[in-house]
Structure formats: C-alpha cells, structure tokens
C-alpha cells in the first residue's frame, strides 16, 4: 500500500541535544512511532465526519471542505476515498442502512423491535436522522427513504395480519405503524433522549394506539 492510500497522524518528535555549553549531553529521546490509518480506517473516519456534517446542515448546504474540516484532513485525502459529494452521501446512507438492519433486523417486528430501534437511534442519532428525515427531502436520494418505507410496510403488514382482518384498514395500519415508530423515535431524540429505559415502552404505547385505531368497529348508527 502506497503513501497515497494512507494518512498519518504524526506526534512531534523530541530530539535530544546538549544541555548547554559545557554541560553533559541530554540523552536522545526516541520519537514515538507514527500512527498511520489504514485505508479502510480512514474511510470510516470520513464517513463518521460526513454523517455529522450532513446531519447538521443537510446535503446541499454541506461542502466537501466542511466534511474535510470535520474529519481533520485535507480535501486531497478526501478525494482519495470519494470522487464526489453525492458518492460520499450515498456511502453514509448505505452504512446507516446496514447498521440499522444489523441492530433491528429485517424479517419481523418482534418484542425487541422497538428497544432495538431506540438503541440504533441512540447509538448514532445523526445517521438515524439522515436516513429517515434528511434523505426523504433530497430528490437525488429519496430512493433510500422510499425503499425503507416500502420494506417496513411489508414487514408490518405481515405481523399485523395476525391482529387485523384483511382490508383497507390493514393496509392503512401497515403504512402507519412504521411511520409512527420512526417519528416517535426522532421526536425522542429531538427531546434530548429522556429516560432511555422508559422510551421503548412509551413508544410502544403510541404504536399500540395506532393498531387499536385500525381494529374493526361496528358501524355507527344515526344520532
């Protein structure tokens, strides 16, 4: 691997030298070894910085210089890993999707789904907001948000079929429940993440209310 694929964080050396005229020479100190980030480590560092920068100002208002400053590197090093701002943003969203799937799962929403969703959001609030708030507002990256919405609705529908009869209210609930869960978690983040131990239960109550609202009801007669 060449120097172009590595970046170094150098600690200043402390060379030895004479203590003064006629004095004994001070022992030379060995400089600490230079810490070089491997290419994969540097890429992760850049994605971390880009996540923070994009979450703070959005895609359009964030420049590559902003990301480089956030990462503490030069723009030259940035371009060794990403050819464009759009490519970097996609990498940020892709990593956020992967980490979310690893934490929450993709097959069904079991009892641990809401606590897992809260853990994922608390673990990386910037990435969570980017994925579910910012990406949906960016036409170029709306596909990420739409894919998540579609997948979440499909999983929710599969789970809700055990609680609700087929029909338009099941369709409604399958779309509503994931949206309510995400918005409730983002609102919790925005409120400063109060009482993390209680958050899953409180969010669960909100979701339960949405499911109850979709339950069959007797037709209302004339007043």
Low-confidence ranges of the chain (pLDDT < 70): 1-37, 221-223
pLDDT of residue 12: 34
In a domain, 12, yes or no: no
User: In a 10 Å sphere around its CB, with 0-12 CB exposed, 13-18 middle and 19+ buried, how is residue 128 labelled?
Assistant: buried
In a domain, 44, yes or no: yes
pLDDT of residue 33: 45
In a domain, 149, yes or no: yes
Report the number of distinct structural domains present in the chain.
1
In a domain, 29, yes or no: no
First to last CA, the chain: 80
Q: Which residues sit opposite 18 in a β-bridge?
A: 25
In a domain, 56, yes or no: yes
Domain residues for 166? 37-213
In a domain, 7, yes or no: no
pLDDT of residue 25: 52
In a domain, 172, yes or no: yes
Q: What is the CATH classification number for the domain harbouring 128?
A: 1.10.357.10
CA distance 98 to 214: 31
In a domain, 221, yes or no: no
Reference 140, options 58, 24, 38; nearest CA is: 58
pLDDT of residue 7: 37
Task: Determine contact, residues 50/84, Cβ cutoff 8 Å.
Answer: no
* Residue labelled with tokens 């669960």: 204
């Amino acid at each position: 691997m060449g120097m172009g694929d590595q970046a170094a964080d150098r600690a200043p050396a402390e060379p030895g030298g004479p203590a003064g005229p006629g004095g004994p020479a001070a022992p030379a100190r060995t400089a600490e070894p230079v810490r070089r980030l491997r290419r994969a480590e540097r890429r992760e560092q850049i994605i971390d910085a880009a996540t923070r920068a994009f979450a703070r100002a959005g895609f359009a208002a964030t420049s590559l210089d902003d990301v480089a400053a956030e990462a503490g590197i030069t723009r030259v090093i940035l371009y060794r890993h990403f050819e464009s701002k759009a490519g970097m943003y996609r990498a940020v969203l892709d990593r956020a999707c992967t980490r979310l799937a690893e934490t929450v799962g993709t097959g069904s929403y079991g009892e641990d789904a809401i606590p897992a969703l809260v853990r994922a959001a608390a673990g990386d609030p910037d990435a969570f907001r980017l994925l579910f708030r910012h990406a949906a507002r960016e036409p170029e990256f709306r596909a990420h948000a739409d894919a998540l919405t579609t997948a979440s609705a499909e999983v929710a529908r599969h789970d809700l079929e055990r609680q609700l009869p087929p029909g338009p209210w099941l369709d409604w609930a399958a779309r509503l429940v994931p949206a309510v869960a995400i918005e409730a978690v983002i609102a919790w983040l925005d409120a400063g993440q109060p009482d993390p131990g209680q958050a899953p239960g409180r969010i669960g109550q909100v979701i339960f209310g949405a499911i109850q609202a979709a339950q069959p009801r007797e037709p209302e007669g004339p007043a």
